[in-house]
Amino acid sequence: MIYDILEKKKNGLELTSDEIKYVVDNYTNNSIPDYQMSALLMAICINGMTDNEIFSLTKHMTDSGNKMDLSMFEKTVDKHSTGGVGDKTTLIVGPIVACLGCKVAKMSGRALGYTGGTVDKLESIDGFKVKLSQEDFISQINNINIALISQTENIAPADKKIYALRDVTATVESIPLIASSIMSKKIASGAKNLVIDVKVGSGAFMKNKESATLLADKMVKIGNNSGINTVAVLTNMDIPLGNNIGNALEVQEALKVLNNEGPNDLKEVCIVLAAIMNAITNSISYNESVKQVMHVLETGQAYNKFLELVKLQGGNIESIYKEPLYKYEVMADNEGYIASMNAESIGKVSGSLGAGRMTKEDEIDYTAGIVLRRKTGDYVNKGDVLATLYSSKINNFEEISKKFSESIGFSSEKPDYKLILGVVGKI
């Protein structure tokens, strides 16, 4: 049967739900070998999938493992980001909407490559438990409206196996496969409302608005088709989000925003995401939701909610202020406006300092990272400090500093850019 399915997809024909179920089930239980699954993935990359095929693939990957039962809660909401540099929004929007009566049952991933992982940021807090029993997970959500944990092994195992194969067969870049991969995990996670932050630009998987919009549209359709109220927000990742890149550094910056301080770009994106999450979960207008979000920021409620979350999960928040062993200031060699920042390159610099991992076995230096002192739109003179590099592993910064400098572009004119590039779905 697998040969017939391969032949069919090679010729650009639509697979039935039963055929897709056959592939997912039999690849997951090792009855279909990697070479045949690789051929199918390549055919999908080349010929695409119809919406019905994407819905079926998502459903059968979701059904391949356990599903989180959150039916005891009325107002559940989840948030997913497609990954970016300096993206610590989960640490901020989760506590905000938890203050507004939303139930945030959040399972997050680790970093691999140059994009940060929420679980690694949480583990930069000494003692923070990223694994909870299901009973404790549900109990904590019931008590304080939020729990942040690592993704369990038995959520969408078919997706995990298929993704590992995509990663080594040049079949990652397929919008149907990306959409079904993300959404199978989100559907299995059990929330009834979902906001997806689709990053666009140099530091994102989607490099342009057109492809990001197409991906957002597919995920919103999958979510709504599965009974999940889904909205996607397109946000700019041509520039790192906020000023701090690196695990403990990003937690520090998240605390500032939760205290209604911190950099304006990070605050703006978080306010939009949190307001949409609150609006769709509590069925209120976006404008009213923004007012509620600002209130919990201005009164310190969101800050206190994060501290409550950390304490309940065993963390010591003071531990994020450990001093790294080494630091280095990158000076500007040029004069003018910063016109561009290659976020991907900057993310890789952070990783080479020890803040990320290139393989799953790499150990992270939680103190490592970058604090940006100037960003796109700022005017700099020669000799001004562009960024401070931190590490407890690396003490020779010359080559790394050079790579950072190469990621910055200058202009005589001040550039114009937007942070929020579009919204897909109904608010």
Which residues are designated catalytic? 80, 159, 166, 181, 185
**Cα separation of 418 and 398, whole Å?**
33
**Cα separation of 4 and 170, whole Å?**
23
Please name the residue that has the structure tokens 């206190």: 304
Please name the residue that has the structure tokens 């999450």: 277
Q: Which residues contact 93 (CB under 8 A, 6 or more apart)?
A: 79, 270, 273, 274, 277
